[in-house]
Chain A
Amino acid sequence: MTRRNSVFYWMTIPAVLLFFLFHTFPALQGVYYSFTNWNGYGHSYDFIGLKNYFYLFQDGNVWNSYWFTFKFSIVTMILINVISLLIALGLNARIKSRNFFRAVYFLPNILSVLIVGYIFNYLFSNVFPIWGANLGSETLAGNILGSGKLAWIGVTLVAVWQGIAFNTILYLSGLQTIPTDIYEASNLDGASRWQEFWRITFPMIAPFFTINMVLAMKNSLMVFDLIVALTNGGPGRATQSISHLIYTGGFQGGEFAYQSANSVIYFIVIALISIVQIRFLQRRETEMS
């Protein structure tokens, strides 16, 4: 019996060691360096306690990156969920060649975020302004990625274009779990389509709504590739996301320790949001059912 038990330990121990070495250990190192003033390449550094954290709270670039990331994430999450739910309802109706349409709507999900960003980068500078000019709008006749005020909208649009693919498929699989006889009963009671959606469809897919909101929010908060491809954080720092700031400051700006402190704060923020979001949405789920 003891031999059999030890086999299970041997199955996990190599993985645990590797995971500790490449994940937990660097994360702890990140926390450790956040209390120092190391620039990332010098030979010596000093402990400076919580100074990095104090500086973070006074740093305009940090506040700016959190503001952009949250504005972007919340708008992206809402748009993705509304649009993908509409598309999923359409795909779930009695339409022709459903599998073909489903495959087309899912296509963006398999494409590289970076390359999609580069394609849209071209469209924003060379194609969309033509339409903007036709509409007679001076703002839209230019490249909105070059505008400090509007660039974040451009980034959001691309994130939504690609993000709806995944959420649509998830909503569709949720809709397909609803037995059709429920609708037949509600038809007899004379419920309108609107009432039918809010009273039957939406409560039935509430668990999918929870997953979709949490995943869309988490992915948006991590945005990096898209920023690199579309704006590189610009113009100025108008579209600099948190992870982009940590990357550029940490690797190119000699702020290794300082950005480590930033990433610790970032970790705490993400963990708190995930927990709050899951708690809140799960309570809604149980209230509705």
Chain B
Amino acid sequence: MRSRRINWTVTILVALGTLFILFPLYMAITISLKNQEDMLGSVFGLPTHWRFENYAEAIKMTNFFQALGNSAFVTIATAVLTLLTNSLVSYAIARNMDRKFFKGLYFYFISAMFIPFPIIMLPIVKLTSGLGMTNLVGLTILHTVYGLAFNVFVYVGYIRSIPTALEEAAKVDGASTWGTFWRIIFPLMMPINATVGILICLSTYNDFLLPLIIISDQDKYTLPLVQYIFQGQFNTEFNLAFASYLLAMLPMILVYVFAQKWIINGVTQGAVK
């Protein structure tokens, strides 16, 4: 019979399973703090001398703060721009699904989810360099535009569940369509905005392929791109490489520690919708 007591067997199994998740991270952290002698010594042991200088060296070598600034700019700008524009587009579509034009748009956007990026990848490089968009602003615009395919799908489903009564009342009071959206509908969309915002931040911050093909100027590298470019220079200095990897992941891990419940809920909602 099912009892209210804690099932210790399963608790222990679940706890043992986390070792598989945590082991690579344990290795990354200990190696990032080792000196060259420790690197040659015990592989699994803790560092005999905690060498925090590795982090200072990695920061200097990879110009970490510049890359962090670039990643932060692209991630935040993409999130803000996405929330403001994609929600508006989805609102117009969701409230006019009975009209051919908007219904057509809906299927136009969501069918793009089936188009794999490589088919766009080769021509988009020519296009962006022709338009002078091989920079962080260009990257932000591309992320925002490509997000439409998935975001319209998620947003439209949500907006259609909001009753139209409020909008009709506002219309009677003489409010404009724009005003109605920003003052009434947008605030009601906050739960789904959180979901979209979290997914956009995760995918933009960790994205590697788009910066790889768009960005050529070293001052504009994002964090994942920096790790790729510096692979050759880290050479056998794995302690420096690991310090650099951890620094690149740290901002997202910190956000995760504090907003873990939000992030998990957001990601789940995005998938179930």
Contact = CB atoms under 8 A, between A and B. Distances in A.
Q: Are A and B co-members of a single complex?
A: yes
A159 interface: no
B253 to A, nearest CB: 7
Given A8-B177, A109-B267, A30 B148 contact: no
A123 B127 contact: no
B169 interface: no
A8 B114 contact: no
Interface in A32-63: 33, 40
B14 A91 contact: yes
A236 interface: no
Interface in B4-27: 4-8, 10-11, 13-15, 17-18, 20-22, 24-25, 27
Contact of B91 (A11, A127, A271): A11
A246 interface: yes
Given A8-B95, A11-B91, A119-B245, A250 B122 contact: yes
B93 interface: yes
A271 B206 contact: no
A95 B148 contact: no
Interface string B253-265: 1001000110110
Interface in A47-106: 87, 90-91, 93-96, 99, 101-106
A276 to B, nearest CB: 12
A225 B253 contact: no
A251 B267 CA distance: 34
Interface in A114-161: 114-116, 118-120, 122-123, 126-127, 130, 161
A250 B120 CA distance: 12
A23 B208 contact: no
A41 to B, nearest CB: 10
A195 to B, nearest CB: 15
A123 B27 contact: yes
Contacts of A246: 118, 121-122
A23 B149 CA distance: 10
B123 interface: yes
A270 B105 contact: no
B256 A30 contact: no
B161 interface: no
B127 A8 contact: no
A251 B116 contact: no
A118 B227 contact: yes
Given A15-B85, A101-B15, A183-B2, A211 B272 contact: yes
B236 to A, nearest CB: 10
B76 interface: no
A30 B119 contact: yes
B85 A30 contact: no
A114 B43 CA distance: 23
Interface residues of B, number: 91
B145 A19 contact: yes
Contacts of A19: 108-109, 112, 145, 148
A270 B115 CA distance: 8
Contacts of A250: 121-122
B65 interface: no
A104 to B, nearest CB: 5
B4 A112 contact: no
A108 interface: yes
A225 B203 CA distance: 13
Nearest to A272: B114
Choose among A11, A16, A31, A91 the residue with the greatest number of B CB atoms under 10 Å from its CB.
Answer: A11
A84 B132 CA distance: 44
Interface in B240-259: 241-242, 245, 248-249, 252-253, 256
Contact of A243 (B8, B85, B118, B142): B118
Contacts of A187: 1-2
A22 B122 contact: no
A103 B21 CA distance: 11
A271 B114 contact: yes
Nearest to B13: A90
B176 interface: yes
B267 A166 contact: yes
A19 B261 CA distance: 33
11 contacts: A18-B141, A19-B145, A93-B10, A95-B11, A106-B267, A111-B206, A119-B28, A170-B272, A208-B272, A243-B116, A246-B118
Given A15-B148, A19-B109, A106-B260, 12 more contacts: A4-B177, A25-B127, A26-B124, A29-B127, A30-B120, A101-B14, A109-B267, A113-B208, A126-B238, A250-B121, A259-B118, A267-B114
Interface of A: 4, 7-9, 11-12, 15-16, 18-19, 21-27, 29-31, 33, 40, 87, 90-91, 93-96, 99, 101-116, 118-120, 122-123, 126-127, 130, 161, 166, 169-170, 173, 183-184, 187, 208, 211, 215, 221-222, 224-225, 228, 242-243, 246-247, 250-251, 256, 259-260, 263-264, 266-267, 270-271, 274
